[in-house]
Amino acid sequence: MYNNFMKKKISYKDIAEQANVSVSTVSRFYNDGYVSKKARAKITEAIENNNFYPNTGARIVRGRDNSVFIIMPIWAQNLYSSIVSGITIACARKGRRVNTTYAGNSTKEYMDAIRYAFSWKPTAIVVFVPQYHKELFDFLKGLEDVTVILYEHQVNGINSIKVDITKGFYTLTEKLLNSSVNRNEDGSLVSKKVAFISDGRLSSTQKTERYQGFERACVDNNYEYYEYAFSSKKTLEDISQISKFLRQHNIHNIVCSTHETYVALAQALGTKEYNYTDIGYQSIYDNIKKYVVKIFIDYPSLGFKIEDMITKSKMNNEVLTKTIPIEIIGTAKR
């Protein structure tokens, strides 16, 4: 179904024939004109059953456009913005325009956004989707005559790029527990207890990848580990409950699943009693040096790598898969 849609140029006439309505009715449907409920239902059914999307871009663009469309969630995570900045800069150097389209959380909303982007006949479509959606990925495999880059997931048959976040959290956890702040004078560990604080803003896929690395490091090193779910709102009451949990279990080593988690806890609970990890790009907290170790991710550089994948995939007509290794940085905690 997906392949048939992508191989055929869809026009208002095609939709009209499938829905058994006039071309003018289809035109009014897409341009907010009056359409009866019955006709609207028939057009909607034809679109959904055939994966139709009108070639709106053809009215302005002749042939393949040298642009890149980025599809990202409406509630975009901050890290995506830095990656998009890198893509935009890299594309500008190649004379490519960049357009960003936002989608809701559902598979259907993502597919609709991608159909819209595809209708403009871009050179490439870059998809940022936090959650794993098999139906969406199968849909992406059916796109033809356009380069598709998928961020954060690796799927056979689709160009993809992701940071090795599971391995990163494995190494991060080991370095936190083995750091000088958690060692006695004789070299023994002060504590083998450690807590993973998961951020409610993470998708289940993102949270799982981080926790798997943390858990594996704990099991391999015989650490006593705990998990606590931090509300996405991060209220004072939430932080108070975390503090109570940490004191109850006598935990001083904390692996933060996001930069926002680290900031909230470090500011509210302080850093004298607790040893934290951080994750993300450059920030003012790198100078303050209140975390023990950090996963450093160069998000703008990821954007440059994505643009490079677009170029190479087009030139070589091959599917590319990139796994970006993690860089761990440490500080002399003040």
* In a domain? residue 5: no
Residues 88 and 131 placed together within one structural domain of the fold? yes
* In a domain? residue 23: yes
Mapped onto helix, strand or coil, the DSSP state of residue 252 is coil
* In a domain? residue 4: no
* In a domain? residue 330: no
Residues 154 and 211 placed together within one structural domain of the fold? no
> Residues 175-205: pLDDT tens digits?
999 999 999 999 999 999 999 999 999 999 9
CA distance 180 to 334: 12
Residues 112 and 212 placed together within one structural domain of the fold? no
* In a domain? residue 1: no
> Residues 307-320: pLDDT tens digits?
999 999 988 989 99
- CATH number of the domain at 33, please: 1.10.260.40
- CATH number of the domain at 230, please: 3.40.50.2300
Mean pLDDT calculated for residue range 141-147: 92
Q: Give the pLDDT score at 79.
A: 81
CA distance 275 to 270: 10
Whether the per-residue pLDDT at 332 is higher than 70: the answer is no
Strand intervals (E) in 222-317: 224-230, 253-256, 275-280, 293-296
Whether the per-residue pLDDT at 292 is higher than 90: the answer is yes
> Residues 98-138: pLDDT tens digits?
999 999 989 999 999 999 999 888 999 999 999 999 999 99
Report DSSP state, residue 8.
Answer: S
* In a domain? residue 239: yes
Whether the per-residue pLDDT at 260 is higher than 50: the answer is yes
Of 18, 34, 54, the position where a domain reaches its end is: 54
Mean pLDDT, the chain, integer: 90
Q: Give the pLDDT score at 61.
A: 39
CA distance 270 to 261: 13
Residues 271 and 315 placed together within one structural domain of the fold? no
Residues 281 and 174 placed together within one structural domain of the fold? yes
Residues 156 and 175 placed together within one structural domain of the fold? no
Residues 137 and 232 placed together within one structural domain of the fold? no
Residues 281 and 238 placed together within one structural domain of the fold? yes
Position 5 confidence tier, pLDDT thresholds 50, 70, 90: very low
Residues 203 and 134 placed together within one structural domain of the fold? no
In this structure, are residues 98 and 91 in contact, taking their beta carbons and an 8 Å threshold?
Answer: yes
Q: What are the distances in angstroms from CA 91 to CA 19, 88, 133, 236?
A: 40, 5, 28, 43
Nearest to 308 by CA among 291, 320, 299: 320
Q: What is the pTM of this model?
A: 0.83
Of 18, 35, 54, the position where a domain reaches its end is: 54
Residues 23 and 40 placed together within one structural domain of the fold? yes
Q: Give the pLDDT score at 49.
A: 79
* In a domain? residue 42: yes
Position 13 confidence tier, pLDDT thresholds 50, 70, 90: confident
In this structure, are residues 120 and 61 in contact, taking their beta carbons and an 8 Å threshold?
Answer: yes
Residues 190 and 250 placed together within one structural domain of the fold? yes
Strand intervals (E) in 74-213: 97-103, 124-128, 147-151, 159-163, 193-199
Whether the per-residue pLDDT at 2 is higher than 50: the answer is no
- Number of domains within the chain: 3
Mean pLDDT calculated for residue range 212-230: 98
| CA triple 141-147-150, angle to 5 deg | 65
Q: Give the pLDDT score at 55.
A: 60
Residues 198 and 245 placed together within one structural domain of the fold? yes
* In a domain? residue 333: no
- 116 lies in which domain range? 60-163+302-324
Residues in the chain: 334
> Residues 72-83: pLDDT tens digits?
999 866 789 999
